[in-house]
């Protein structure tokens, strides 16, 4: 995946796209199995080395329900965890449905990392 995305970035640069305007979305959930999605998330830090902001859009995706063995499960708590782990791996942004819970989870991560809540 990394080499494919690197090639796409190079192509955009050849076409004259300003590098500051390139954001990489690895396409979590699109044409991938659950195993592919988890492998991609588990190696997200490798994509960060491409030098472009990484956007993770895992919110409420099917592979989360499969992990929970419940297709009807509330996937928002797991999405918040994925968002925090993505931030720790260096993701620039996350696309989510439940903004409030994800913001709270990311606020906790920020306080944790700073060792302070303010």
Is 21 designated active site? Answer: no
Contact criterion met (CB below 8 Å) for 87 and 94: yes
Question: Dihedral of CA 50/51/52/57: which sign?
Answer: positive
Exposure b/e, 26-36, CB count within 10 A at least 16 = b? bebbeebeeeb
Q: Is 60 a catalytic residue?
A: no
- Catalytic, out of 2, 32, 60, 95: 95
Where do the DSSP E strands lie in the chain?
55-56, 93-94
Pairwise CA distance, residues 79 & 37, whole Å:
13
Active-site positions? 61, 95
């Amino acid at each position: 995946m990394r080499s494919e995305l690197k090639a796409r970035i190079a192509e955009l640069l050849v076409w004259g796209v300003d590098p500051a305007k390139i954001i990489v979305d690895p396409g979590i959930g699109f044409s991938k199995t659950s195993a592919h999605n988890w492998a991609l998330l588990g190696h997200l830090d490798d994509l960060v080395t491409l030098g472009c902001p990484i956007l993770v859009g895992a919110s409420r995706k099917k592979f989360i329900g499969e992990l929970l063995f419940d297709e009807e499960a509330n996937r928002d708590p797991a999405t918040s965890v994925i968002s925090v782990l993505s931030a720790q791996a260096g993701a620039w942004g996350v696309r989510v449905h439940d903004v409030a819970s994800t913001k709270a989870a990311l606020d906790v991560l920020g306080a944790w990392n700073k060792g302070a809540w303010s």
